[in-house]
Structure 1
Amino acid sequence: MGSAPPLSSSSQRRRVGPIGVVLLVMAVLLILGVAGYFVLPLLGIGKATQAAITTSDLQTTVNYAGMDITLVNAQQAANFIDDPQTHSDGMLRLHVQATNKNKKAAVLIYPTIAHLLLPGGNELAPVYASDYTAVAPGETRSNTVDFVVPAATKVNQLTLLLGSAAEARLNIPLQPHADMGKYAAKTSDVNKKTSYLSLDYLVTQVTTQMSLDGQQAPKGMRYLSVNLKIGNPLMQPVIAGSPFDYLRVKSGDTSIAPVQATIPLNFASQVKDQAGSAVFLIPQDVTTVTLVLGSKNTDGFDPGTVNIAL
Structure 2
Amino acid sequence: MTNFTLKSTVQLRGSGIELPLLGLGVYRNDDCKPACLAALKHGYKHIDSARMYRNEAEVGDALRESGVPREQVFITSKVNNPEHGYQKTKAAIESSLRNFNFEYIDLMLMHSAMSDKERRLESWRALVEAKAAGTVRAIGVSNYGVKHIEEIREAGYEMPDVNQVELHPLCQQKHIVDYCIANGIVVEDYCPLIRAQWNIPALLKVTEKLGKTPAQVLVRWSLQRGFVPLPKSSDPDRVVTNAALYDFEISAEDMKLIDALDRGKDGAISWNPVDVD
> Smaller-chain TM-score range?
under 0.3
Larger Rg: 1
> TM-score when scaled to structure 1?
0.22
Higher relative contact order (CA 8 A, sep 6+): 2
